[in-house]
A and B are shown apart, each in its own frame.
Chain A
Amino acid sequence: DSGVTQTPKHLITATGQRVTLRCSPRSGDLSVYWYQQSLDQGLQFLIQYYNGEERAKGNILERFSAQQFPDLHSELNLSSLELGDSALYFCASSVAPSGTDTQYFGPGTRLTVL
């Protein structure tokens, strides 16, 4: 157990819908990262937050948004869902925002868009 929690574990929804994925970082970690992993694909970096502020953006679609709250948990919002958005979504956390800090991954949320 990495100490990073994600809810829900599984999410099944229809095209055009909107969902929210939640992540709680390890105790003491201030930085949260979101990744998307499609079937048999690698880890695509979406976005990073540090202490409530957005720090870096990757291949995140405009239909997707995220935020980090004062208690440091983060939410990833996915809207106007398409079949291709079906994937595993992971969040990871680290103490600081530097890329050299060890990132610990949560168990992931499996999103299925029908």
Chain B
Amino acid sequence: GENVEQHPSTLSVQEGDSAVIKCTYSDSASNYFPWYKQELGKRPQLIIDIRSNVGEKKDQRLAVTLNKTAKHFSLHITETQPEDSAVYFCAASGAGFQKLVFGTGTRLLVSP
């Protein structure tokens, strides 16, 4: 089955810096890659997703890139703010899959 690895597990940046979180997946049939943000004690919230017919997608300060050949995808957050501090989860799935497979999460800390 699908396996998703996520790095780093913890990331500390200064406000205004960029943050990059990387994920790799194992199943070449995967074609849907969402990113979720989870604040402490709250529900995971979808922040951006990408499907395999595109290589990059941007939404304000967020960008995701996908390299299907290498089977990895990344989340880029520019101009980080303290409110970006949270745990970020990547996930992967495909049309024939029944479920999302989540990475282990990255705890992002943005210091003022």
Contacts and interface: CB of A to CB of B under 8 A. Distances in A.
B104 interface: yes
Nearest to B4: A42
Interface residues of B, number: 26
A58 B102 CA distance: 12
A42 B100 contact: no
A8 to B, nearest CB: 15
Interface stretch (B13-21, B42-50, B60-68): B42-50
A66 B36 CA distance: 25
Contacts of B69: none
Nearest to A100: B32
Majority SS at the chain A contact face = loop
Interface in B22-58: 31-32, 34, 36, 41-46, 49, 51
B98 A48 contact: yes
Nearest to A2: B43
B97 A42 contact: no
B97 to A, nearest CB: 3
Given A99-B32, A100-B31, A33 B49 contact: no
Contacts of A100: 31-32, 51, 93-95, 97
Contact of B94 (A45, A48, A99, A105): A99
Nearest to A94: B100
Given A42-B105, A56-B98, A100-B51, A106 B43 contact: yes
A3 B72 CA distance: 31
Interface of A: 2, 33, 42-43, 45, 48, 55-56, 58, 88, 90, 97-100, 102-108, 110
Interface of B: 31-32, 34, 36, 41-46, 49, 51, 89, 93-105
27 contacts: A42-B89, A42-B102, A42-B104, A42-B105, A43-B89, A43-B102, A45-B99, A45-B100, A45-B102, A48-B98, A90-B44, A97-B98, A98-B97, A99-B99, A100-B32, A100-B93, A100-B94, A100-B97, A102-B34, A102-B46, A103-B46, A105-B43, A105-B44, A106-B43, A107-B42, A107-B43, A108-B43
